[in-house]
Amino acid sequence: MTEIKNLQVYGLEESIKRSGLPMMTDIFEDISIVEDDLKRGDKLANTAIGSGHSNYLKGIIVQFDLRYPEYLSPEMQRYHWFEIVSSMSKMHRLTKLNIRECVNNYVTEEIIVLIEKYLKVLHLKDL
**What tens digit of pLDDT does each residue of 23-78 get?**
877 776 667 888 999 999 999 999 988 888 888 898 999 999 998 887 888 888 78
Q: The domain containing residue 62 runs over which residues?
A: 3-86
Q: Are residues 62 and 103 in the same domain?
A: no
Q: Are residues 43 and 93 in the same domain?
A: no
Identify the bridge partners of residue 61 per DSSP, sorted by sequence position: 10
Q: Are residues 8 and 53 in the same domain?
A: yes
- Identify the band that residue 3 occupies on the pLDDT scale cut at 50, 70 and 90: very high
d(CA 104, CA 112): 11
Q: Are residues 109 and 92 in the same domain?
A: yes
Q: Are residues 32 and 14 in the same domain?
A: yes
Q: What percent of the chain has pLDDT over 90?
A: 32
Q: Are residues 15 and 34 in the same domain?
A: yes
Q: Are residues 82 and 104 in the same domain?
A: no
Q: What percent of the chain has pLDDT over 70?
A: 91
Quote the pLDDT of residue 113. Answer: 94
Q: Are residues 23 and 53 in the same domain?
A: yes
Q: Are residues 12 and 66 in the same domain?
A: yes
d(CA 16, CA 36): 10
Q: Are residues 80 and 92 in the same domain?
A: no
Quote the pLDDT of residue 109. Answer: 95
Q: Are residues 76 and 110 in the same domain?
A: no
Give the dihedral sign, CA 78/80/86/88. Answer: negative
Kindly tell me the burial class for residue 17, based on how many C-beta atoms sit within 10 Å of its own C-beta (0-12, 13-18, 19 or more). buried
Q: Are residues 81 and 112 in the same domain?
A: no
